[in-house]
Amino acid sequence: MDNEPVKEESWWKRHWKWSLPLGLLCIFLILTFFSSDIDKAVTNMAQAYSDTELYENALAKVKSDPRATELLGNIEPIDKLAIFEGAVGYSDDNKTVNSSIRVKGEKLIARMEIAATRINGSWKYTKINIRVKNPPEKRQLIEIVSED
């Protein structure tokens, strides 16, 4: 028997065929992420998720509107998934927001559209609308707050 040690190839020589393309793909994805507006969208969603006062106060105004409660029924609290399903855009150093989220009532599901400005630490709403699309026979827009 030959007792000479077997010289093992380096890690790179054994795995370059899959590690090189994977490394290039990772670099491409990182560059794409930072060169697009995806990072801003992720930041906006995180801000909206943590800013519960914005949605809770708007929902309280919706619940106090008789037309909205008649159409939707008893309105459920906004869950965190509804915020992620919606759209949100902060501007003016996070002092202005435009958002659209799902609102569930016992009769219908609708969208709540919000436009607000943060003044002295609290939100001043310039627009709160409830928009019902389905079923088509109940399609309508209810203006809760409107500043034109």
- Average pLDDT of the segment spanning 115-129: 91
Which one has a higher pLDDT value, 148 or 13?
Answer: 13
State the distance between the two ends of the chain, measured CA to CA, in whole angstroms. Answer: 93
Integer CA distances (angstroms), 55 to 12, 14, 32, 82, in order: 53, 55, 32, 11
- What pLDDT is stored for residue 148 in this prediction? 56
Q: Where are the domains of the chain?
A: 38-146
Per-residue model confidence as pLDDT tens digits over 91-109: 888 889 999 999 999 988 9
Per-residue model confidence as pLDDT tens digits over 5-37: 778 889 999 999 999 999 999 999 988 877 777
Asked whether the CA dihedral 48, 42, 111, 103 is positive or negative, the reply is: negative
Per-residue model confidence as pLDDT tens digits over 60-91: 999 999 998 888 899 999 887 888 888 888 88
Third-level CATH fold of 38-146: Nuclear Transport Factor 2; Chain: A, (3.10.450)
Among residues 78, 80, 90, the alpha carbon closest in space to that of 42 is found at 90
